[in-house]
Structure 1
Amino acid sequence: MNTITSHQNPKIKFLNLLKDKSRIRKKEQRFIIEGNREISLAISGGYHIEQLYYCSSIATKNELQLILDVIDNSIEVFEIPSEIYQKLAYRSTTEGVLAVAISKDLSIKNISLKTQNPLILVAESPEKPGNIGALLRTADAAQVDAVLIANPKTDIYNPNIIRSSVGCIFTNTIATGSTQEIIDFLKNNKINLYGAALQASVNYYTQNYTKPTAIIVGTEDKGLTDEWLKNTTQNIKIPMSGVIDSMNVSVAAGILIFEAKRQRDFIV
């Protein structure tokens, strides 16, 4: 195990760039993972861990060994002091372990569905990392077959997405693409498209989601674009009794996805 003590060390400078700059993450095809659970989930999800950074004043050697036991023995491991670790960490309650992982190509062309009757969550143009993380947690809880992100406005490997998803970025099958690419993918796979929208919509619980299904949600302020609305099988809405006519996108997605899940579990 090597030791780094200076903030000016090139590896520490590179970690700061990975943490803060989306363009660096994309260019280098690498990103940072923080925490034992998240690192373990990434490994289980097939991500290659390239380097591990460990703060001995926070994490025990036993905790470090749990990670080392399941990764390649050739991985570089560096011990860093608390003052460096705290500047790299995103969480206030942290575990003393950071990893550098190699990104995956999440293009829609690379996805393959493992079932003939998939349930898919589609999010158009999500921007807030907290919302994206919550959508991924919902998808994991419902065990959807894929999460497709159309026209993403935020780098999927943003540390805030990893943090807010509590590692569910690694437990879901995720793909990104343009709206048209994802529409083409869904139609080519004969998947019904149910768009969450107020236009020409029916109450969500009136529809049958037991066949191949994609639930599509848009942004909270603008909803789904016309490109989606003219291609949906049916637009659906959640009836609301309050003054406003919209809710948080992750909450809406949870209601819709779990209705589909309820119907599918009922017929099993």
Structure 2
Amino acid sequence: MKEITSIQNPLIKQLSQLKDKSRERRKTGTFLIEGAREISLAIKGGFQLETILFYPELFSSEKLSTFTSEVIQQIEISKEVYQKLAYRETTEGVLAVAKSKTQDISQLKIEKENPLILIAEAPEKPGNIGALLRTADAANIDAVIIANPKTDLYNPNIIRSSVGCVFTNTIATGSTSEIIDFLKKKNINIYCAALQASVSYHTQNFAKPTALVVGTEAIGLSDEWRKNSTQNIIIPMQGEIDSMNVSVAAGILVFEAKRQRNFK
């Protein structure tokens, strides 16, 4: 088994770039995963692992058997190397290099006749994206679509905040125009969370093919979404402000849809 003890090792320098830079992840078509649970979910989600790196004082070689059949290369690393590559303060001692998947909207396949889809337009904060993915996982919805993405889905903060759900959700990305075209071709109703020309969300029928669309807290949804919606919807609020965290709003809408569908 290969062993690396120096942070000056060329591979470690490359992996450090992979962790920190979206450009490097796009160029190589690979990304870094930290944590045993996240690696297990990546395998479950059909991601191909290229390399696994472990610090034996935190993650024993015996535990590698969980991932062995999925891994091309295993590397034992020193504490210094692990600390260089690890993103989280709470350490488990294991990382993996995985191949990215293409998530273009043109390749999204919706198998159900009556799908429930969550769409977020231009979310920027990795923590919000991770929370949206956790909500989607909890509700077992059919797909999450990111319109006009501002960050790549393999950002370590998204992996961390999604608790690995980024690997097991069905996810697609595309421009707002491409996604609207996709939804219309599939005869999926579009419900946009917006202040303008809106009705209370609970008055609508989400038991039919439905896409729930949320925008950023700062500017909301673009005009293109609002003009193409089946109905704009609003979550009535009784306080002093007129917006809430996007992941909270999405959770309210998604679980109302699930309630109407009797949580099927």
TM-score range, shorter chain: over 0.9
Q: How far off its partner does 1:31 sit?
A: 0.3
Alignment of 1:143-182 (within 5 A): 143-182=140-179
Structural mapping, 1:74-89, within 5 Å = 75-89=72-86
User: How far apart are residue 227 of structure 1 and its match?
Assistant: 0.6
Structure 1 residues 88-127: aligned runs within 5 Å? 88-127=85-124
1-structure distance, mates of 2:26, 2:102: 10
Structure 1 unaligned residues grouped into runs of 5+ = none
Ranges in structure 2 where 5+ consecutive residues have no aligned partner: none
Using the TM superposition, give the Cα deviation of residue 145 of structure 1 relative to its aligned residue in structure 2, in angstroms: 0.3
Q: Does 1:132 align with 2:132?
A: no
Determine if contact 1:133/1:166 at 8 Å carries over to the other structure: yes
How far apart, CA to CA, are the structure 2 residues paired with 1:220 and 1:43?
34
1:8 Cα deviation after fit: 1.1
> If the length of structure 1 is used for normalisation, what is the TM-score?
0.97
Q: For the Cα contact (< 8 Å) 1:64–1:97, is it kept in 2? A: no
Number of aligned residue pairs: give it: 264
RMSD between aligned alpha carbons?
0.9
* Alignment partner, residue 29 of structure 1: 29
Q: Post-superposition shift, 1:184? A: 0.4
Cα distance in 2 for residues equivalent to 1:183 and 1:10: 44
Per-residue Cα deviation, 1:34-56 (whole angstroms, up to 9, x for no partner) = 11110010011010000000100
Alignment of 1:174-193 (within 5 A): 174-193=171-190
Alignment deviations for residues 202-230 of structure 1 (CA, whole Å, 9 cap, x no partner): 01100000000000000001000001000
Quote the sequence identity (%): 67
Q: Using the TM superposition, give the Cα deviation of residue 63 of structure 1 relative to its aligned residue in structure 2, in angstroms.
A: 2.3
Q: Structure 1: how far apart are the matches of 2:93 and 2:219?
A: 40
Query: Which amino acid is 2:197 matched to?
Result: A
Q: 2:195 matched to 1:198?
A: yes
Q: What per-residue deviation string (whole Å, max 9, x for no partner) do you get for residues 171-227 of structure 1?
A: 100000000000000110000000001100001100000000000000001000001
Conserved in 1, the CA contact under 8 Å of 2:6 and 2:80?
no
| Inter-partner Cα distance in structure 2 for 1:91 and 1:160 | 9
Q: What's the TM-score, normalizing by structure 2?
A: 0.98
Q: Distance in 2 between matches of 1:18 and 1:173?
A: 24
- Which residue type is aligned with residue 80 of structure 1? I
1:71 correspondence with 2:61: no
- Of 225, 231, 250, which residue of structure 2 is paired with 1:234? 231
Q: Provide the residue aligned with 1:19 in structure 2.
A: 19
